Amino acid sequence: MAAGGGDMSMPIASLFTDAIRFIFVPQESVTGGVQVGGIGEISSLTANHLVLSAAAIAVACVIALPLGLWLGHVGKGEFLAISVSNVGRAVPTLALIAFFIAFVGIGFFNVLLALILLAIPPLLTNTYVGVRGVSPDAVDAARGMGMSESQIVRRVELPLAVRSIFGGLQLSAVSVVATAILGPLASVDTLGTPIVSVNVYGQAGLLGAAIVVAALAILVYLVLTALQRAATPAGLKA
Amino acid sequence: MSALALPLAQLEIRSRTGGTCVSEDGFCPGWIVDNLDRYVQPLLEHIYLTVISVAVGFAISFALALLAHRSGWLTAPVTALTSVLYTIPSIALFLILVPVTGLTALTAIIALVAYTQVFLFRNIINGLVNVPEETKDAARGMGLTDRQVLWRVEMPLAVPEILAGLRIATTSTVNLATLAFFAGAGGLGAQIFQDITFRSNVVVAGGLAILLAALFDLIFLGGQRVATPWRRAAAT
Amino acid sequence: MTAPDNSSGSNATPRSTREAATLEFRGATKRYPGQEAAAVDGLSLTVPAGEILVLVGPSGCGKTTAMRMVNRMIEITEGDILLDERSVRDRAPAELRREIGYVIQQIGLFPHMTIADNVAVVPRLLGWERDRIDARVKELLELVSLGEGTGERYPSQLSGGQRQRVGVARALAADPPLMLMDEPFGAIDPINRERLQNEFLRLQGELRKTIVFVTHDIDEAIKMGDKIAVLRTGGRLAQYASPAELLMYPADEFIEDFVGADRALKRLALQRVRDIDLWRAATVRVGEPIEEARRKIADADIDMPLLVDEHGRPEGWLSERGMTGERVRAELRSRAEPTVELDDVLRDALADLIESEVHYSPVVDAEGCVAGVLSLEVISQTLQIPPDQVRTGPDLVAPGDEAVAGSEAPSR
């Protein structure tokens, strides 16, 4: 079904130039009559993309962090906490979205739900692993000094696990931002719209959106890396 | 259409008339049995993409890891590079590569190989680095040459972590290969995409992809046990 | 040193066929770039073949560095180290190391290899035939008292002490003329450490390897060493002497401090009762003419007569009343307790005296017959004897001395 990959008549450089122009300058759609692309539409699609991704990650954090901290603190549910991310990795994101479209339905909240499911496993596993990785001596000392269990979690285990938790956050963010590209399949506009609706946006739109979404993903990754550095206790930075 | 034509045309794989299970997007065992042969070619494409990408990816990361292990300074930049590469959404990378290498399996494989590096390089290097210093010291002290230390001591001890890396890289590649149709390389993802609202189709194509990932996972799990008898011994 | 002690069994097959090597440090120096002070500074000393040199000193004194220069794990900056008159610098490092046994504190067994494969590493590197390797592995595991079937196990299945034995067996595999041991018993608990030390000294009694032994523990140094080299910070040799010399004549205040305030007591641990001049006892029997007994008392070093039975075994110290009349009567002042044996270590004998609150006690030989009298005075005189007349070293661990030692005697 890979139709016509051989026609390389168009120079590569001009394909990319057109794509960059699409990002900044509106142009007529392939189907005609409508203006597409340009900084305005790209900005609004980027905003949608970010809102959808951020909402999914935020909800996933609210669910996965307390659960991971608790499981790690009491040392139970290792099988669950570890295998959830193995299973998560084995389920193709496209299949996940497709299951939602086919069985649950389309629209913002359904896509959000799918992305939340995608974001939970790395967060849960990394939080659990991070807490379990805290030296038992430190926890024992904390208990010996009279800290309550919740104080141990908040003042000892959480700060020491923060590095690992951010690692999970990065993994989640990367896969959520990438999967949000498939949003338009379920009628949710994101930076994936010019890609999925290539028949409207044209080749320049498809490539332009790909470039923007790649840049966005790298930016998110770099911001999270900076946050991780800032959040890691000074004593753990070697 | 130019070279960038995406195979996004929704080919009809079923009749949409008559108020049947099939026409109403249902989960229809009868249709599935009759149409299983549809999925053979995409499944084979998917296996092909996965195996080639992981094999090539392993060869590259192994060479890189050996270089980095010897040089010492190479590890940090390569790790940073592979991490950043991994953050690029696969769909975007496929699409950006298409103008350069065309709508071909090669395009998909280049991107998939790039994604394996983050797991494979990290695990090979960690496996080598985590060999206890005293073990290496004893090996050198007994008169093993640097090459012998690497191949007889460090490498065997790194095997569990290397296999763990291969496990993760393989399941992740099975996952990412579902999007390889954006590079015109087919696979089970193309089949899902072809009729994404038809439950029968989604279940079969998506299920095959999950089963494939699980199968590879089991193979590596078994390999891990066979290749590290000393770990099993420790448990008894 | 005395000849190897073979009384533990018929030692028909020699465990070692290679001659031990002499080792000479000749101004051996190690300087690290960018550091002003040397790590090891002009170390010169000679270790005769078959002896144990202990390198001892506080942390950072360069003892491990000095040891590691021998097999070129650390390169020599200046000076030289000669193994059987041949510079180690003339040898390819890997080839040199295969001829030198190497044991470190963390042992460094290869976790992915079975015990047998671990022991076989160097023989395989040397290209030995399979049968010869198998036989050697079997022999060595037996030598270090590891039971049947240990060879097929993995290091993770062994206790710390067992792993340490495997480490020693692995180092001995190619029958090296020299062994380097860096705190080999450092990670073992005190009770097992003593067992392993005794076992090792027994083994050394048989094998007579030249050994460089690094430790930070002066007691271990005194116990293990034929010669002790004390290094001080900056890698300078502070004193090179036998254990007794070191305890008797510490070269300076540093050594005195390092050896410890109890060095006199430590020295007692180096000697047995039989090694010193005991008091002659006046042994008398019941019914013996008083005249005879009085003459014996005049000859003896102690004027208290010791009553013995017909076999010469001590019964007790005779009272004044026992000496009245014409013949000796069985009137005891006190029983002969404690009795000390000739083979007792002097420190233990002293402890016995102190514990029993006596100033002297009879010494008996292996048959239980009186061999003399040990007194606090005798012991304090002993401490004045010049160290070159003092017997010390591995022969201190006599056969059957400890239950452990007995059980480790190879049954052949």
**C117: closest CA of chain B, how far (Å):** 12
In the stretch 64-93 of chain B, residues with CB closer than 8 A to chain A read 83-84, 86-93
Q: Is the peptide bond before B156 cis (omega within 30 degrees of 0)?
A: no
Which tokens go with B199?
A: 């439950």
Measured distance between the N- and C-terminal CA atoms of chain B, rounded to whole angstroms: 64
A93 contact B CB<8A: yes
Which residues in chain A touch residue B83, judged by CB atoms under 8 angstroms apart? Answer: 221
For the stretch A141-194, pLDDT in tens is 888 888 888 899 988 999 999 999 999 999 999 999 999 999 999 999 999 999
State yes or no: pLDDT of B83 exceeds 90: yes
Which tokens go with C214?
A: 């690094």
The answer for B50, left when phi > 0, alpha when psi is -120 to 50, beta otherwise, is alpha
CA gap B209, B215 in Å, rounded = 10
Can you list the positions of beta strands (E) in chain A?
27-28, 35-36
For the stretch A26-76, pLDDT in tens is 888 888 778 888 888 999 999 999 999 999 999 999 999 999 999 999 988
Residues in chain A: 238
Which tokens go with A222?
A: 């770099």
A107 and A52 Cβ atoms separated by less than 8 Å: no
**B195: closest CA of chain A, how far (Å):** 9
State yes or no: pLDDT of C398 exceeds 80: no
**A182: closest CA of chain B, how far (Å):** 9
Tokens 């896969």 belong to A175
Query: From the DSSP assignment, how many helices (H) and strands (E) are in chain A?
Result: 10, 2
Provide the mean pLDDT of chain B.
89
- Domain at C273-389: CATH code: 3.10.580.10
B156 and C112 Cβ atoms separated by less than 8 Å: yes
Which residues in chain B touch residue A205, judged by CB atoms under 8 angstroms apart? Answer: none
Average pLDDT over residues C264-288: 85
Average pLDDT over residues C83-111: 92
Average pLDDT over residues B6-10: 50
Residues B179, B184, B187, B188, CA torsion sign = positive
Which tokens go with C408?
A: 């480790």
Residue in A with minimal Cα distance to B194: A1
CA gap C140, C388 in Å, rounded = 36
State yes or no: pLDDT of B156 exceeds 90: yes
CB contact under 8 A, C156 and B138: no
Which residues in chain A touch residue B92, judged by CB atoms under 8 angstroms apart? Answer: 178, 181, 210-211, 213-214, 217
The count of CB pairs under 8 A between chains B and C is 77
CB contact under 8 A, B168 and A203: no
B122 and B79 Cβ atoms separated by less than 8 Å: yes
B156 and C117 Cβ atoms separated by less than 8 Å: no
State yes or no: pLDDT of B127 exceeds 80: yes
Q: Which pLDDT band holds residue C342 (cuts at 50, 70, 90)?
A: confident
Q: Which pLDDT band holds residue A10 (cuts at 50, 70, 90)?
A: low
Question: For position A143, what pLDDT does the model report?
Answer: 87
Residues C346, C352, C358, C360, CA torsion sign = negative
For the stretch C200-225, pLDDT in tens is 998 998 899 999 999 999 989 998 99
C282 and C351 Cβ atoms separated by less than 8 Å: no
CB contact under 8 A, B87 and A221: yes
DSSP-assigned letters across all residues of A83-123: HHHHHHHHS-HHHHHHHIIIII--SHHHHHHHHHHHHHHHH
C157 vs B142, B156, B233: nearest CB: B233
The fold for domain B39-226 equals MetI-like fold (1.10.3720)
Which residues in chain B touch residue C175, judged by CB atoms under 8 angstroms apart? Answer: none
Which tokens go with A58?
A: 């935020």
In terms of Cβ atoms closer than 10 Å to its own Cβ (0-12, 13-18, 19+), residue C80 is middle
CB contact under 8 A, B143 and C122: yes
Tokens 């990002």 belong to A23
Residue in B with minimal Cα distance to A106: B197
State yes or no: pLDDT of C93 exceeds 60: yes
In the stretch 29-58 of chain B, residues with CB closer than 8 A to chain A read none
Can you list the positions of beta strands (E) in C12-158?
23-30, 40-47, 52-56, 78-83, 86-87, 100-104
Q: Which pLDDT band holds residue C160 (cuts at 50, 70, 90)?
A: confident
> Between residues A238 and A196, which one has the greater pLDDT?
A196
Residues B81, B86, B92, B97, CA torsion sign = positive
Domains plus CATH for chain A?
Answer: 2-237 (1.10.3720.10)
Measured between alpha carbons, how far is residue B226 from residues B232, C75, C111, C147 in Å? 9, 41, 15, 27
In the stretch 190-229 of chain B, residues with CB closer than 8 A to chain A read 190, 192-194, 196-199, 202-203, 205-206, 209-210, 213-214, 217
Which residues in chain C touch residue B151, judged by CB atoms under 8 angstroms apart? Answer: none
CA gap B162, B188 in Å, rounded = 28
| pLDDT over 70, % of chain B | 94
Which chains have 3 or more CB–CB distances shorter than 8 Å to chain C?
Answer: B
Neighbouring-strand partners of residue C230: C56, C239
Question: For position C2, what pLDDT does the model report?
Answer: 41
The CATH architecture that domain C8-263 belongs to is: 3-Layer(aba) Sandwich (3.40)
Q: Most A CBs within 10 Å: which of B11, B45, B47, B95, as the mutation test of the A interface?
A: B95
A41 and A26 Cβ atoms separated by less than 8 Å: yes
In terms of Cβ atoms closer than 10 Å to its own Cβ (0-12, 13-18, 19+), residue B168 is buried
CB contact under 8 A, A102 and B202: yes
A7 contact B CB<8A: yes
> Between residues A14 and B55, which one has the greater pLDDT?
B55
Average pLDDT over residues C269-280: 85
Q: Most C CBs within 10 Å: which of B142, B149, B225, as the mutation test of the C interface?
A: B142
Q: Which pLDDT band holds residue A4 (cuts at 50, 70, 90)?
A: very low
Which chains have 3 or more CB–CB distances shorter than 8 Å to chain A?
Answer: B
Residue (of C226, C245, C237) closest to C47 by Cα position: C226
A159 and A232 Cβ atoms separated by less than 8 Å: no
Judged by 3 or more CB pairs under 8 A, whether C touches A is no
Q: Which pLDDT band holds residue B227 (cuts at 50, 70, 90)?
A: confident
**A145: closest CA of chain B, how far (Å):** 34
The count of CB pairs under 8 A between chains A and B is 167
C324: Cβ–Cβ under 8 A, 6 or more apart, which residues?
Answer: none
A134 and A156 Cβ atoms separated by less than 8 Å: yes
In terms of Cβ atoms closer than 10 Å to its own Cβ (0-12, 13-18, 19+), residue C298 is exposed
Which tokens go with A110?
A: 């359904």
Which tokens go with C296?
A: 């014996």
Average pLDDT over residues C93-98: 92
| ipTM for this prediction | 0.88
Average pLDDT over residues C43-49: 95
CB contact under 8 A, C121 and B142: yes
C398: Cβ–Cβ under 8 A, 6 or more apart, which residues?
Answer: C5, C272, C343
Question: For position B235, what pLDDT does the model report?
Answer: 57
Within a 10 A sphere around the Cβ of B124, how many other Cβ atoms? 25
B2: Cβ–Cβ under 8 A, 6 or more apart, which residues?
Answer: A7, A9, A10, A203
> Between residues C337 and C389, which one has the greater pLDDT?
C337
**B91: closest CA of chain C, how far (Å):** 42
CA angle C375, C378, C382 (to 5 degrees): 145
Q: Most B CBs within 10 Å: which of C83, C106, C110, C118, as the mutation test of the B interface?
A: C110
> Between residues B178 and C386, which one has the greater pLDDT?
B178
A45 contact B CB<8A: no
In terms of Cβ atoms closer than 10 Å to its own Cβ (0-12, 13-18, 19+), residue C9 is exposed
Neighbouring-strand partners of residue C308: C314
Helix A158-179 to helix B75-87 angle, to the nearest 10 degrees? 50
Amino acid type, A196: V
A216 and A231 Cβ atoms separated by less than 8 Å: no
Where are chain C's structural domains?
A: 8-263, 273-389
CB contact under 8 A, B140 and C97: yes
For the stretch B49-59, pLDDT in tens is 999 999 999 99
Residue in A with minimal Cα distance to B203: A99
Distance of alpha carbon A12 from its chain centroid, rounded? 30
Average pLDDT over residues B34-46: 92
A178 contact B CB<8A: yes
CA gap C230, C338 in Å, rounded = 38
Distance of alpha carbon C361 from its chain centroid, rounded? 27
State yes or no: pLDDT of A221 exceeds 80: yes
For the stretch C51-77, pLDDT in tens is 999 999 998 899 999 999 999 999 999
A10 contact B CB<8A: yes
Amino acid type, C216: H
> Between residues C17 and A162, which one has the greater pLDDT?
A162
B12 contact A CB<8A: no
Average pLDDT over residues C295-305: 88
Distance of alpha carbon B38 from its chain centroid, rounded? 23
Question: For position C10, what pLDDT does the model report?
Answer: 39
Residues belonging to chain B with any Cβ–Cβ distance to chain C shorter than 8 Å: 132, 134-145, 148, 153, 156-157, 159, 228-230, 233-234, 236
State yes or no: pLDDT of B5 exceeds 60: no
Question: For position A193, what pLDDT does the model report?
Answer: 94
Q: Which pLDDT band holds residue C386 (cuts at 50, 70, 90)?
A: low
**B63: closest CA of chain C, how far (Å):** 23
Q: Which pLDDT band holds residue C397 (cuts at 50, 70, 90)?
A: very low
A236 contact B CB<8A: no
Q: Which pLDDT band holds residue A85 (cuts at 50, 70, 90)?
A: confident
CB contact under 8 A, B134 and C153: no
